[in-house]
Amino acid sequence: MLQVNNIIAEKDRYITGLKKRNISNAEELLNEVIQLDESRKSTQQELDSNLAEANSIAKQIGALMKEGKKDEAEKIKARTSELKQLNKELGEKLNGIQDDLTQKLYNIPNVPNESVPAGNTDEDNVEIKKVGEVPTLNDGAMAHWDLIKKHDIIDFDLGIKITGAGFPVYKGKGARLQRALVNYFLDEAVKAGYSEVQPPIVVNEASGYGTGQLPDKEGQMYHIGEENLFLIPTAEVPITNLYRDVILNEQDLPVKHAGFTPCFRREAGSWGAHVRGLNRLHQFDKVEIVQVRKPEESYQALEEMCAHVEHLLSSLNLPYRILRLCGGDLGFTSALTFDFEVYSAAQGKWLEVSSVSNFETYQANRLKLRYKDENKKSILLHTLNGSAMALPRIIAAILENNQDESGINIPEVLHSYTGFNRI
């Protein structure tokens, strides 16, 4: 959530930034916020003035009663009753203005970093790096949705029978490969200094608002109506919310957590090869890395997180590229995001497997997440997160890129985790 003081102080920069997101009425939105804030301040001043007057009158009444001037005390009591009613009305008005202001801020996305390119869709994202050789496959090479049937390692039909489309059943070596990747990614995160946590996979509404999934993405989350809870779309939500309403000490920083969870997303996508098989699921497994950093350290931390994801992809011997997302493709809460895509040889296209983002103070302001510096000053922190990694498309690329006429070779780095080197 944007900070009102910053909107006022840097209004022109914020307008320019929001226009990168193709928000044509950015100036109007920010002016509405400023007007609500001015109304909030004037109402608060009036209320404070009335409270001060009421307090003064109370002291006068007390003094008059001590002096035995009961009649005079009774005369000014009428003003006390009048002020009490006025203050009740002002308090209700103030609460209404604050609610309107908060809701208005909830619906304005984060302001992009200056390095974010302008653009409308993912076609306007900027490729900044490409690594690895695209493999040459044998004649008759299959896409992963055919390979998994041939080797009986993932079953979509059973998933449909049990639950519905987008909920596959992993079997035999498919299940072991899935578990191997989770354990490998977690072990590498721990080596990189992340503390492992296993958070709940169901969160309350306050957690959804804290990291910005609400009110922006409620349509993409599975909702448990009776309890008003949500299945998580990513481990970012529960892990970052560990620090909701927390003031950290400077020596507690940096915070670095990694966690594995199933993830749930209602988005169905459209029919076609680009969402076929493992390319888009309603339930999938992911290892997430999350950092909480001082503002001046967060962009260095973003580089470190990107380097960590690169290490994982390189170790799996997967060709990959890195994209800087344009304003039109940037997530609602992000100030800067880098997407990582691996090349799927059998499909002949790039598949997104990770996003690494810096949210600056946007989430921290919602979460009321701060730290106290050496002067005991309370400062909003920066939050960051990244997929390290999401499994389905990684598995798709491993299966497709490493196939030959008689089977599929498993990346060497996973052999000690799978217990086999070939499917």
Q: Tell whether residue 341 is among the known ligand binding residues.
A: no
Residue 231 has pLDDT above 90, yes or no: yes
Query: Does a structural domain hold residue 268?
Result: yes
Q: Using one digit for the tens of pLDDT, what is the confidence trace for 93-139?
A: 999 999 999 999 999 999 999 999 999 999 999 999 999 999 999 88
Residue pair 8/35 in contact by the 8 Å Cβ criterion: no
CATH number, domain of 397, equals 3.30.930.10
In this structure, what CATH number is given to the domain that contains residue 17?
A: 1.10.287.40
**In this predicted structure, what is the pLDDT of residue 271?**
46
Give the SS3 label for residue 260. Answer: strand
Yes or no: say if 143 and 400 are a contact pair by the CB < 8 Å rule: yes
**Whether residues 237 and 380 fall in one domain:** yes
* Dihedral angle sign, alpha carbons of residues 318, 321, 324, 328: negative
Q: Write the single-letter amino acid at 250.
A: E
**Statement to judge: residues 245 and 186 lie in one domain:** yes
Residue 354 labelled as part of a binding site: yes
Mean pLDDT along residues 315-334: 98
Q: Where are the alpha helices (H) located in 195-297, listed in sequence order?
A: 205-211, 236-240
pLDDT band for position 62 (cuts 50, 70, 90): confident
More confident site: 11 or 66: 11
Query: Is 353 a known ligand-binding residue?
Result: yes
- Does residue 392 belong to any structural domain of this protein? yes
Domain range spanning residue 79? 4-106
- Confirm whether residue 79 is marked as ligand binding: no
Q: Give the SS3 label for residue 350.
A: strand
Q: Which residues of 60-69 are buried (b: 16+ CB within 10 A; e: fewer)?
A: ebeebeeeee
Answer with the residue of higher pLDDT: 321 or 57. 321
Q: Is 374 annotated as a binding residue?
A: no
197 within some domain: yes
Q: Does 167 lie in the same domain as 87?
A: no
Please check whether residues 226 and 150 belong to one and the same domain: yes
Separation between Cα atoms, residue 257 and residue 196, nearest integer Å: 6
| Percentage of the chain modeled with pLDDT above 70 | 98
pLDDT at residue 297 tops 50: yes
Contact call for residues 25 and 388 (beta carbons, < 8 A):
no
Of the residues 49, 75, 106, which one is the last residue of a structural domain? 106
127 and 214 together in one domain: yes
Rounded alpha-carbon distances, angstroms, from residue 96 to 40, 49, 84, 100, 199:
9, 19, 19, 6, 35
For residue 47, is pLDDT > 50? Answer: yes
Contact between 1 and 366 (Cβ < 8 Å): yes
- Cβ neighbours of residue 25 under 8 Å, at least 6 residues apart? none
Q: Does residue 191 fall inside a structural domain?
A: yes
The answer to whether the annotation marks 265 as part of a ligand binding site is yes
Looking at the fold, whether 58 and 148 belong to one and the same domain comes out as: no
Residues 88, 55 share a domain:
yes
Average of per-residue pLDDT across 45-68: 88
226/186 same-domain check:
yes
Q: Is 120 annotated as a binding residue?
A: no
Instruction: Tell me how far apart the alpha carbons of residues 192 and 257 are, in angstroms, rounded to a whole number.
Output: 10
Taking residues 322-345, what's their average pLDDT? 97
Asked if residue 311 and residue 196 are part of one domain, the reply reads yes
- 3-state SS of the chain: helix, strand, coil percent to 5? 50, 20, 30
Mean pLDDT of the chain: 95
Q: How far apart are CA 403 and CA 27, in angstroms?
A: 54
Q: What local confidence, expressed as pLDDT, does residue 274 receive?
A: 61
Distance of CA 384 to the CA centre of its chain: 8
Residue range 267-275: mean pLDDT, rounded: 56
Please give the pLDDT value at position 268: 52
Q: Are residues 196 and 279 in the same domain?
A: yes
- How many structural domains comprise the chain? 2
Mean pLDDT across 313-324: 98
Indicate if 317 and 267 belong to the same structural domain.
yes
Q: What strands lie across the sheet with 283-293, from one edge to the other?
A: 126-131, 320-324, 336-344, 349-358, 382-390, 283-293, 255-264, 195-196
CA 374/CA 351 separation, integer angstroms: 45
Q: Is the pLDDT of residue 195 over 80?
A: yes
- Tens digit of pLDDT for each residue in 364-378? 999 999 999 988 899
95 labeled part of a ligand binding site: no
Structure tokens at 142: 């299959």
Q: Which tokens belong to 261?
A: 């969870």
Percentage above 90 pLDDT, the chain: 87
Assess whether 55 and 156 both reside in one domain. no
In this prediction, residues 227-234 reach a mean pLDDT of 97
The whole-number pLDDT of residue 273 equals: 52
Q: Is 27 annotated as a binding residue?
A: no
Residue 123 assigned to a binding site: no
128, 310 Cβ separation under 8 angstroms: no
pLDDT for 49 = 95
Evaluate if residue 249 carries a pLDDT over 60. yes
Q: ∠ CA(402), CA(403), CA(405), 5° rounding?
A: 150
**Is residue 111 included in any domain, yes or no?**
no
160 in a structural domain: yes
Q: Is residue 139 part of a domain?
A: yes
- For residue 116, being part of any structural domain is answered with no
